[in-house]
Amino acid sequence: MIQTKPRQDMSSALTAHQIKLRECHQCEAMIGPVVTGQPVASPILLVGQAPGVKEGTAERPFAWTAGKTLFNWFDPLGLSEEVFRQRVYMSAVCRCFPGKNPKGGDRVPNAGEIEACSHWLNAEIELLRPQLILPVGKLAISRFIEVDKLTEVIGHIHPITLHDNDCDLIPLPHPSGASTWHRTEPGKGLLQQALDLIGRHRAWKTLLETDAY
């Protein structure tokens, strides 16, 4: 669906949305600050899981090792990290750092925290009415479609309707260095299929047009 709201009006609405979002302190176990991407009026919405320990200090999502891997995926498609951040709206299932898991790694947000943060993501979908959503990791993917195994959903386009807006979903694995899924087969090949689909999508081609943004 083609966006009809003027881009400047949408950017202003997104800026106002993010001001309210950064004031949120609803989840006691979550560790601030709230992390947001730029309030860009984009036809593409990227949805991560939750910021890591480094993202709060950097004040931007995917600011550390996983981010380097993620942006290396997109660079061959024509968007460097800098340009991607300027042209794609970067969101997440939860916006604060969940803290560390005693058994290692970051704690996965619980169902209550995910639900409490869901209205921020829903508001962004209503404002953006995106043509393409890129959920990164199983938690983010499961917010939109049922997923048992990543091999069943990655490498495919999933048409969905959200808030009366028809759009495409192209899931991606999480680029965590602790995961081998995207570096071994069949995950490596399925990731490349997904990236090929993204590169051919009309929304991505829009972002590559020099006079479009």
User: What is the pLDDT averaged over residues 23-42?
Assistant: 96
Confirm whether 2 is domain-assigned. no
Closest CA to 206 of 77, 43, 74, 46: 43
- Are 89 and 21 within 8 A, CB to CB? no
CA angle 87, 118, 45 (to 5 degrees): 15
Total count of domains within the chain: 1
Residue 157: pLDDT above 80? yes
Please report which confidence band the pLDDT of residue 210 belongs to, taking 50, 70 and 90 as the band edges: low
Please report which confidence band the pLDDT of residue 47 belongs to, taking 50, 70 and 90 as the band edges: very high
Confirm whether 135 is domain-assigned. yes
Residue 2: pLDDT above 70? no
- Residue-level pLDDT at 40: 96
Please report which confidence band the pLDDT of residue 213 belongs to, taking 50, 70 and 90 as the band edges: low
pTM over 0.85: yes
- Residue-level pLDDT at 105: 86
Confirm whether 213 is domain-assigned. no
Confirm whether 100 is domain-assigned. yes
Closest CA to 52 of 22, 94, 110: 94
As a whole number of Å, the CA-based R_g of the chain is 16
CB-based contacts of 65: which residues, under 8 Å, 6+ apart?
177
- Residue-level pLDDT at 138: 97
Work out the widest C-alpha separation in the chain, in whole angstroms.
49
- Residue-level pLDDT at 5: 61
- Residue-level pLDDT at 144: 98
Confirm whether 144 is domain-assigned. yes
Residue 66: pLDDT above 90? yes
Closest CA to 35 of 110, 116, 120, 135: 120
User: What is the pLDDT averaged over residues 38-52?
Assistant: 97
Residue 212: pLDDT above 80? no
Q: What is the mean pLDDT of the chain?
A: 94
Instruction: Specify which residues 135 forms β-bridges with.
Output: 47
Q: What is the CATH number of the domain that holds 42?
A: 3.40.470.10
- Are 106 and 100 within 8 A, CB to CB? yes
Confirm whether 177 is domain-assigned. yes
| H/E segment holding residue 200 | helix 187-200
Q: Which domain holds residue 115?
A: 7-208
Task: Dump pLDDT digits (tens) for 109-128.
Answer: 999 999 999 999 999 999 99
